[in-house]
Amino acid sequence: MSFSSFVFLWIFMPVVLLLCVLIRPPKYQNILLLIASLLFYAWGDPQYIVLLLLSILMNWALGLWLSRAGAEKKLVLILALVGNLGLLGYYKYANFAINTVNHILHTSIPMTTFGMPLGISFFTFSALTYIIDLYRGRFPVQKSPLKFALFLSFFPRLVSGPIARYSEMEAQLTERVMTKDGFAEGFRRFIYGLGKKVIIANVLAKPVDVIFAMDVTNMNGAQAWIGAAFYTLELYYDFSGYTDMAIGIGRMMGFDIPENFNYPYISKSITEFWRRWHITLGTWFREYLYIPLGGNRRGKIRTYVNLFVVFAVTGLWHGASWNFVGWGIYHGFFMIIERMGLKKVLDRSKVLSHIYAVLIFTIGWVFFRVGSVRFGFAMVLRMLLPWKYTISGVHMGQILTTQSVIAGVLAVLGCGLLQSVMQCGRCRKLTADWKNSMPEAVFCLCVLLCSIVMMASNTYNPFIYAKF
């Protein structure tokens, strides 16, 4: 079930919200929300609901054992890490490993028949935050299986995050309040997210799909740039739109879900980009991998090695494919050279540093999108040497429509440019006056109606990060 589906908009969400209003005590709301979350997951991936329940039961039991352990405390932690990463590795990376071995050793080991469970990377990482922080003594064990199950399966963030830590949700599982202001704020945030997904991301997806499905030898430089630029915008609006909807749904029910984006495309370096993009994932890797590896405390060389490892794993987290690993290493390379001195050079010019950052992450997204690394290099070559690739058998009119061009313009304005302008000088007052005003309410109504009309006329398009 997708947030941008009619089943969710007209049946699931209204029913759950209405029942939350009628069932006020959090104790009973938790039962309702757990049932709703399991139903939400089963609707999208029914064959793996048992796996989700197994993960919940395993981590709750390991948490109890860990809280009572003495000398064997580290052993319990290791068992928890092996159990969680083992499930993730088997379902997400087994075929990748088998395929790699078969390719290198020319063997014919059969592939597994299991697909990848929906949201496994997100609920596994959430479980690991609980176990690791419990081991570190940051909070008492959660003895209630109901509360722990809701933490791990809470439907707004189950499929594509944000990756909330247990310490951020602990108090809310026991005490929270639904208010009119919170409901209005959450509903407004949900509508903005829905508009991002349906009005912009889904429209941009059409030319992107056409370009990335082309024979690369038949692609010219202009088409390569349009494909890369539109995918860069599509990915941001798709994922940040999901996050806005997740935060909005949580806020309507009295939950505070952490932010995941802070206009990453206005960054002036790759270091800054990773402070603004997928914030909860970056925080997870910093606290649970980078710092335990030694962070930047053991000299420059060790720092560079740690960054390389973290970004290689970041790429692997996104997908069981070498193009994702390469994408992660690519970003790690630029993080390293910025630490080596490039960042000081970039700081001398805001314009050039911004152009540099946009160029780097846009090229990176090409390898994130393609199914073949060879295709990615060929496409980037056409982007960097457009004068050498000017001929294509595909007419631009077969790729671009008036709707997609308008969506592209709106996407560029809305990914940080317009927001930066509105925070300057007199515009700041206009921004403050706009929030919670009648004009904003009318605007949100228009976005909602437009989204509904477009959902009715377009084919279903799932969220990109749901497959990770």
Contact 254, 189 (CB under 8 A): no
Instruction: Examine the residue annotation and report whether 278 is marked as an active-site residue of this protein.
Output: no
Return d(Cα 252, Cα 21) in angstroms, integer.
10
Q: Within 255-389, where are the H helices?
A: 270-276, 279-285, 300-318, 322-337, 343-346, 350-369, 373-384
Contact 248, 190 (CB under 8 A): yes
Q: In the prediction, which pLDDT does 319 show?
A: 85
| Coil, helix or strand at residue 314 | helix
Contact 127, 55 (CB under 8 A): yes
Q: In the prediction, which pLDDT does 460 show?
A: 55
103, 106, 278, 318: the active-site residue: 318
CA dihedral of residues 319, 41, 449, 20 (deg, nearest 10):
-140
Each residue of 391-429: b (16+ CB within 10 Å) or e?
ebeeeeeebbeeebeebbebbeebbbeeeeeeeeeeeee
pTM of the model: 0.92
Return d(Cα 304, Cα 302) in angstroms, integer.
5
Amino acid identity for residue 150 in this structure: L
Q: In the prediction, which pLDDT does 466 show?
A: 67
**How many other C-beta atoms can be found within 10 angstroms of the C-beta atom of residue 345?**
12
pLDDT tens, N- to C-terminus, the chain (468 residues): 688 888 888 999 999 999 999 988 888 999 999 999 999 999 877 888 999 999 999 999 999 999 988 888 999 999 999 999 999 999 898 888 888 888 888 888 888 877 788 889 999 999 999 999 999 998 999 999 999 999 999 999 988 889 988 998 999 999 888 999 999 999 999 999 999 999 999 999 999 999 999 998 899 999 999 999 999 999 999 999 999 999 999 999 999 999 999 999 999 999 999 999 999 999 999 999 999 999 888 888 999 999 999 999 999 999 888 889 999 999 999 999 999 988 888 888 889 999 999 999 999 999 999 878 899 999 999 999 998 888 888 888 888 899 999 999 999 998 888 777 777 767 777 777 778 888 888 999 999 999 998 888 776 566 777 666
The two tokens of residue 274 are 């990773």
| Coil, helix or strand at residue 170 | helix
At residue 376, φ and ψ (nearest 5 deg) are -60, -45
Q: In the prediction, which pLDDT does 436 show?
A: 80
Return d(Cα 459, Cα 169) in angstroms, integer.
36
Q: In the prediction, which pLDDT does 330 show?
A: 95
